[in-house]
Structure 1
Amino acid sequence: MPISKICSLSKGLFARAGDASAVVAVEAAFIFSLLVILVIAVTDYGFYLTLRSRAEAVNYSLTSVLRERIWLYDADEAVTQVQLDELAKLAGVMFGKTGAQQLCLTVEQIVFKDEKIKSVAASTIFFSGAANCRTQPITRLEALTELSPWSSASRWMPLYQVTLSVPTPENSLHKLLQGVGALPERIIISNVALPR
């Protein structure tokens, strides 16, 4: 075999080996980039789940405070704006300085007529928290009137719904995750309670 033929074969072999390593490098860069984006997205979603869990705990505590009408509000079942503003301050303390300025708190109340057939006498809604806060609950309280029991005092118990809303954490990929529907703009938590 002539030397020129061997040289041309070896050049072709090395060129193919170089092409293969270049392809591997491109694939590795592409896969590594996807893995980094995936890890960041999972981390951002983890921050969202942590804040949602915290909001659920805070809203449950606020609902527990609101329903203690006998001990905390002298057995007055009517919710007032002052009481809601106090609850919003309490929520701000529970969230700390970072979340207190952006939280929205909504309280709905339904009172029933003193009749055996259940009918609504009055329905009120109060808003407090961040400026222009008007967070609506996921399900309006009017749709949940079947939760009110007939009490031993021969009346339908009033219903309260506490709704807490905070913005989702703004991290690296939160706009992308919101764009594909994986994250909402705000976390909204609602709890229904009866007075005690």
Structure 2
Amino acid sequence: MFLGKFKDESGTSAIEFACYIFIFTLMCGLMIDISSSVIKKGQLERVNNSLMAILRERNDFYNGRINFSKEDVEQLDNIANVLLADSDGTVEPHQLTIRMIEFSPDSTSDNKIRGQERTFSTIVVAGCDYQTGTKTSIDTLSNLSAWGVPPTAKQNATNPFWYPVYEITLCVPGAVSYFHQMIGGFKKNMSSLNIRNVAIPRI
């Protein structure tokens, strides 16, 4: 009787130990996914902030030109390629989108008349397509504009106006999910990361 009881307790302990190992393995996979996502998000935020700092400097880099072109987006994407390059020189696939909301010259401080909207994107990559993804509403972007004259303008030399609003969206496809692999899920990748930054230009 004692021997049988010992065998039963040994079997129960083995089953419990196997369950603990399985749960611990799942937790490790989940922590790896979370850690890699946080690290990647931080990197993309720094890159996006750097790109926005360049885009805002309309006098220094764009001769005071408010509007931007497809060529400007390509130049910023080249900078993003340098900032996103790994130690071996490879560049992680990504999509860069720049959007601008400008306002009519007939606008007043009490009447903001929205004008043209410009949007340029680099090529679509798997998991990143700005046209089919969730976008910031035009009203939300318009509310971030400011009324005034350029700080560099001479007093009374320039009429006040509503500043245009720039938005940069940097998207990187989702990385391989170790958690999903461990649980045998059909979805092997995490969600794509979309980092957005909005600002008005320095003129």
Is TM more than 0.5 here? yes
Q: Distance in 2 between matches of 1:39 and 1:191?
A: 32
Q: Distance in 1 between matches of 2:193 and 2:56?
A: 23
Range 137-146 or range 75-84, more displaced: 137-146
2:58 corresponds to 1:64: no
1:74-113 matched pairs, under 5 angstroms? 74-97=63-86, 100-113=91-104
Distance 1:174 1:90, change over 3 A: farther
- Name 2:136's counterpart in structure 1: 139
- Name 1:124's counterpart in structure 2: 118
| Deviation at residue 193 of structure 1 after TM alignment | 1.1
Distance 1:131 1:33, change over 3 A: closer
Q: Which runs of 5+ in 2 are unaligned?
A: 150-158
Q: Which runs of 5+ in 1 are unaligned?
A: 1-11
Q: Distance in 2 between matches of 1:99 and 1:47?
A: 18
Distance 1:52 1:101, change over 3 A: closer
Distance 1:113 1:184, change over 3 A: farther
Equivalent in 18, 21, 45 of residue 29 of structure 1? 18
Equivalent in 162, 167, 186 of residue 173 of structure 2? 167
Structure 1 vs Structure 2 CA RMSD: 2.4
Q: Distance in 2 between matches of 1:164 and 1:37?
A: 30
| Deviation at residue 175 of structure 1 after TM alignment | 6.0
Over alpha carbons, which structure has the higher Rg? Answer: 1
Q: Distance in 2 between matches of 1:184 and 1:29?
A: 27
| Deviation at residue 189 of structure 1 after TM alignment | 0.7
2:190 corresponds to 1:190: no
Q: Deviations over 1:80-110 (max 9, x none)?
A: 1000011111111111157735100111111
Q: Distance in 2 between matches of 1:176 and 1:193?
A: 41
Q: Deviations over 1:54-80 (max 9, x none)?
A: 111111111111111110000001011
Range 144-153 or range 154-163, more displaced: 144-153
- Percent identity over the alignment? 25
Range 157-166 or range 167-176, more displaced: 167-176
TM-score by length of 2: 0.81
1:34-53 matched pairs, under 5 angstroms? 34-53=23-42
- Name 1:3's counterpart in structure 2: none
Matched-pair contact (CA < 8 Å) for 1:165–1:187: yes
Matched-pair contact (CA < 8 Å) for 1:141–1:161: no
Distance 1:100 1:119, change over 3 A: farther
